[in-house]
Structure 1
Amino acid sequence: MVVTAADTEPEVPREPARRRRISRAWLLRFVVAAASGFVFYLSFAPRPLWWLAPLAFTGFGLVLHGRRFRGGFGYGFVFGLAFFLPLLTWLLAFLGPDFGPWPWLGLCLALSVYFGLAGWLITVVSRLPLAPLWSALVFVALETPRTWFPLGGFPWGRVGFSQPEGAFLSLASVGGAPLVGFAVCLTGFALAALLLRLKSLKATFRDRNALKVAFRDRRALGTAAFVVVPVVAGLALWPTIGTGAQDGERTVATVQGNAPDIGLALQGQRKLLRDNHLAESERLLDDINHQRVPRPDLVVWPESATTVTGPDPQLDQLVASFGAPALIGGLYRLPDGHAQNSVIAWDPHTGPGARYSKQQLVPFGEYLPARKIAELVTPFLDSETVDMVPGDGANAALNVARTKVGVFVCYETAFDYPARESVADGAELLVVPTNNAWYGPGEMSYQQLAMSRLRAVEHSRAVVVSAISGVSAIIAPDGSVTASTGLFTAESLVGRVPLRTQTTLSDRLGAWTEYGLLALAIAGVAGGSVLRFRIRGAQRTRRAQGTGTGEAAG
């Protein structure tokens, strides 16, 4: 027998080749998931690229197509990590080189788990009819527990906050941030489903134009409707967004005293903050007295611009010089030595009066949820540090300058309930004192400003943002910014704002919109689970019947 070279060469197995193809497909999906997460980040302020958000969910939807549980979680986690890492880089400026990147990385990893859970649950509902609808519900529903856990919640980066302008923003007047986020996700997931359907039709009808076939395909038409309807609904609502005064107007001044951009070194510099705001207030007074700007009806100082421990003759004199009441953001010392982050109504004749105290405190900054752990990651405490005391929601709308002024402070902008409570208490104008001086010249202040713009539309109220170091702004009830300051500058804004009394549908529905979306998502996941078990049961039955037939034939 003649032995040839071909006989001696081992046969190349096919399995490794198949694995290589799978590996390339996995890599492609990984890259698309990461790119989609980064595109989602690019849709956030300060960039006016709101339309990128639905496209990000289109890419995410394409990646999740046909995936199982593990793949759904993994790609969702990658999507989240590519989003949160750049979104929260301002934490690095806050922490500085001494702490390194570990708190930032830890928070981003924890938040990305929610996106991973979303990807996992989307694979559960993907076989249901109207799959894009259920996918959008699942993703937005997981923003609700993110406002609760961990450590009181961290809702930064909610989908709705990517829309301070554009087609979807008007939906905030109907259902707040949850409805805006749902509309964005639905558009994106539906576009992904439509592209997959067109690809399927093209493969089925190779000799026909897929678009022509799609016009006669009810499934494709239904999916296309999910792409178009949220955009059309948002555009159709814009004429209903009221901006006119309903109870007169007020001239409001906000004082931005500024702070040095020194990150954590700003700790303990409360006297500097106070001096800066006193100096800028004096400059504003000079402009008023020389008629360079109109005399305000209300003056606003930002969050923690001073410390209030008792009578304050210097502030009494300053407010009296304006001849108008002021809202003073300050650290208010209670008789027992504890402190509250408060906004105090200061009358030019009678001095300090009613105050609103911040309810949603910042973990590791204003209170310590786990002191032993906190000592490892925060510079804000020592053995004698005492937690701030949260407010109880009293005086959510302060009577000042013949106006009901709703107040919510800094971090509270990311949560739905503080602004909602102030409007329910009769607020005709909203004021947001804030201190972002810790976070450097990055994007944090602009991200927070975008939230205030959404709140303006959600509640149909003008919003005045008063910041220590910027961005301070005056926002119209339609979310447009009529005046703003730069970062790390000493500036003042004076503007005329309308007072409004009409409540929006979002105000009347309150949290029911959010909980309704959550309930629908839970129902979808339950339905998807039942359908999956039925499909698996049917497959097992068919396999068993096939085995039985084969044995009988044998």
Structure 2
Amino acid sequence: MPVAVAGFVLSTRGSDARPFRSGLWAGLVFGVVFYFSHIFWMRAVGIPAWIALSTLEALFYGLMGGASALLQRHRWWPLWFASAWAAIEVLRSGWPLSGMPWGRLAFGVVDTPLAEALPYAGAVGVSFLAALLGALLAWVVRGAHGPAAGERGRVTAAVVLAALVAVLAVPALAPWRAEETGTFDVAVVQGDVPGPGDDILYDFRRVTQNHVDATVDLGARIDAGETTRPDLVLWPENSTATDPFADEQTHAGILEAVAAVDVPVLVGAIVDGTGPDQVLNQGIVWDPVTGAGERYTKRNPVPFGEYIPWRAVFTKYQFFDRLREVGRDMLHGTRDEPLPIDGVPVADAICFDIAYDDGLVAQVRNGAELLVVQSSNATFIRTDQIDQQFAITRLRALETGRWVAVATTNGVSGVIAPDGTVVATAEPRTRAVLQEEVGLVDGLTPAMRIGPWSGRAAAALGALGVLLGLLAYRRSGRGDRSAAPAHDEQENGVTRVSEPA
């Protein structure tokens, strides 16, 4: 990763005449190559969606390339470059529409020495550190101010790089670990998806019945003394693809499952919205005594997958015919408070929510002691998306210092410890129940205490760096225009060109 970032830096240095434009084109090429391959799995939704989303995200790398060319024009540019890189990641993670966080540097550091920095610096901070490593490596290659700086610049860069590596060794030698205040027994249900396995609507009633049957079987094993009674049973997103309050068969199945285990079941349900063209994606706490209670609504529905922006425009064209399959638009959730389940505050994230900072950070800062993820990755079950998302989930365990339980319809389900270790996992495309006793943590990591301020600081530093780069470019431009023209001198019949002082 640092080598790749260093390559980005060196290729976006830009020409002296038009640095932003030349840097922009180099950054755009980088973005196209990286993002089209990184989210190749989006072709499972549709080739137009893959092309459109990849092209949009590649533009951000073009913007970063232009900024990089400007930032490299003044002293200590690696600091400004890393700040701008982290700021661009934050920007594209929330805009346009709900943004697309996939491809952030921090999402690739699990199982590397940088992972131990996550509890201290968070995802934004670790992206900054990874970008800074790459920028310093490029500084070593080119010298402090380009090849003309010679060995002095390279020595300075090497010393700074070594100092950063030494700083990053501190979290690895003294990893952040929270004291557990209690335990919680969680049963994760992966019911499987019938038929081809990649279409949740192929037989949505069988999907629900699979989760009901798995939970009833768990209840039978509890009654037989083969396993302990959990404190919570976790179902995935889309475990009911129809409104359980409006559909009698689905409602009856949930009641049967909850009664069998006699503990709360967090059901992933599609619920009708207030209007005929609206729908909600919710995690509903279904209590064996009081019934359906607290709910978490997915905060970040996927554009063009779960709702269609500018629907009237896009559905006019045959090229976007598949968008018509999204018949109703999913509404955004706004909940910042964790779900109270059996006296324990639990933070919920539904599928792609795990890649966004806002919802999880808010719930943890508001007292969540355990994280759960409800996901339906059936559409991507034959792609690398399911592994990428699980890696992001492991990052969140490290960043928050919390245990994480993940339930998916058919992969990847698992239980993750606060140090990112995968304690249990289920094979994709199988029916399974994972039951683990996990720890409860109420302490906040430094990253959670910092919260959104790391992103704000990166944005401020990045903007300041670009401003300074623009000023340096304008000053150099004025200097060139105001300089006296060179004049020729004759000496012994040889013409010499004298440059102005």
TM-score, structure 1 normalization:
0.80
Deviates more, 1:134-143 or 1:374-383: 374-383
After superposition, the Cα gap between the structure-2 partners of 1:457 and 1:339, relative to the gap in structure 1 and judged at 3 Å, is same
State whether structure 2 residue 30 is matched by structure 1 residue 79.
yes
Aligned residues: 480
What is the letter of the counterpart of residue 293 of structure 2? G
State whether structure 2 residue 10 is matched by structure 1 residue 62.
yes
CA distance in 1, matches of 2:169, 2:224: 45
1:360 counterpart residue number: 300
Q: Could you say what secondary structure the match of 2:11 adopts?
A: helix
CA distance in 1, matches of 2:75, 2:176: 38
**Structure 1 position 546, deviation (Å):** 5.2
CA distance in 2, matches of 1:341, 1:364: 15
**Post-superposition CA distance 1:405-454 (Å, at most 9, x none):** 11111111111001011112210001110111011321111111111111
After superposition, the Cα gap between the structure-2 partners of 1:107 and 1:200, relative to the gap in structure 1 and judged at 3 Å, is closer
Q: Is the 8 A contact 2:377 2:409 kept in 1?
A: yes
Q: Could you say what secondary structure the match of 2:322 adopts?
A: coil
Q: 2:390 aligns with which of 444, 449, 467?
A: 449
Q: 2:87 aligns with which of 129, 132, 141?
A: 141
CA distance in 1, matches of 2:221, 2:90: 46
Unaligned segments of structure 2, at least 5 residues: 490-495
**Post-superposition CA distance 1:150-205 (Å, at most 9, x none):** 2221111111111123222233223321111111111011111102239988x998
What is the letter of the counterpart of residue 378 of structure 2? A
After superposition, the Cα gap between the structure-2 partners of 1:346 and 1:177, relative to the gap in structure 1 and judged at 3 Å, is same
Q: How does 1:125-136 map to 2 (within 5 A)?
A: 125-136=71-82
1:333 counterpart residue number: 272
**Structure 1 position 294, deviation (Å):** 3.7
Q: 2:449 aligns with which of 508, 515, 520?
A: 508
Q: 1:302 aligns with which of 210, 213, 236?
A: 236
What is the letter of the counterpart of residue 8 of structure 2? F
CA distance in 2, matches of 1:118, 1:242: 33
**Structure 1 position 87, deviation (Å):** 1.2
1:120 counterpart residue number: 66
After superposition, the Cα gap between the structure-2 partners of 1:477 and 1:284, relative to the gap in structure 1 and judged at 3 Å, is same
Q: 2:286 aligns with which of 332, 346, 351?
A: 346
Q: 2:333 aligns with which of 391, 397, 400?
A: 391
CA distance in 1, matches of 2:94, 2:217: 43
1:409 counterpart residue number: 350
State whether structure 2 residue 106 is matched by structure 1 residue 106.
no
Deviates more, 1:342-351 or 1:231-240: 231-240
TM-score, structure 2 normalization:
0.88
After superposition, the Cα gap between the structure-2 partners of 1:422 and 1:234, relative to the gap in structure 1 and judged at 3 Å, is same
1:434 counterpart residue number: 375
Q: Could you say what secondary structure the match of 1:455 adopts?
A: helix
2:493 counterpart residue number: none
After superposition, the Cα gap between the structure-2 partners of 1:204 and 1:329, relative to the gap in structure 1 and judged at 3 Å, is closer
CA distance in 2, matches of 1:112, 1:372: 26
**Structure 1 position 372, deviation (Å):** 2.5
**Structure 1 position 131, deviation (Å):** 1.8
Q: Could you say what secondary structure the match of 1:518 adopts?
A: helix
1:314 counterpart residue number: 253
2:45 counterpart residue number: 94
**Post-superposition CA distance 1:516-544 (Å, at most 9, x none):** 01100100010011111111222222244
After superposition, the Cα gap between the structure-2 partners of 1:547 and 1:401, relative to the gap in structure 1 and judged at 3 Å, is farther
**Structure 1 position 240, deviation (Å):** 5.0
Q: Could you say what secondary structure the match of 1:502 adopts?
A: coil
Unaligned segments of structure 1, at least 5 residues: 1-52, 96-100, 206-213
Q: How does 1:210-221 map to 2 (within 5 A)?
A: 217=152, 219-221=153-155
**Structure 1 position 265, deviation (Å):** 4.7
Deviates more, 1:453-462 or 1:67-76: 67-76
What is the letter of the counterpart of residue 25 of structure 2? G
Q: How does 1:228-307 map to 2 (within 5 A)?
A: 228-238=162-172, 240-243=174-177, 245-260=179-194, 262=196, 265-267=199-201, 269-306=203-240, 307=242
Q: Is the 8 A contact 1:437 1:469 kept in 2?
A: yes
Q: Is the 8 A contact 1:301 1:327 kept in 2?
A: yes
After superposition, the Cα gap between the structure-2 partners of 1:260 and 1:70, relative to the gap in structure 1 and judged at 3 Å, is farther
**Structure 1 position 357, deviation (Å):** 0.9
After superposition, the Cα gap between the structure-2 partners of 1:482 and 1:181, relative to the gap in structure 1 and judged at 3 Å, is same
Q: Is the 8 A contact 2:218 2:261 kept in 1?
A: no
**Structure 1 position 398, deviation (Å):** 0.9
Which has the higher Rg, Structure 1 or Structure 2? 1
1:40 counterpart residue number: none
| C-alpha RMSD of the superposition | 2.8
**Post-superposition CA distance 1:217-248 (Å, at most 9, x none):** 3x434322443344433331245544455320
2:425 counterpart residue number: 484
Q: Is the 8 A contact 2:136 2:160 kept in 1?
A: yes
- Percent identity of equivalent pairs: 31
CA distance in 2, matches of 1:547, 1:400: 86
2:322 counterpart residue number: 379
**Post-superposition CA distance 1:23-62 (Å, at most 9, x none):** xxxxxxxxxxxxxxxxxxxxxxxxxxxxxx1121122222
CA distance in 2, matches of 1:261, 1:505: 46
Q: 1:173 aligns with which of 111, 119, 123?
A: 119
2:262 counterpart residue number: 323
What is the letter of the counterpart of residue 309 of structure 1? F
What is the letter of the counterpart of residue 280 of structure 1? A
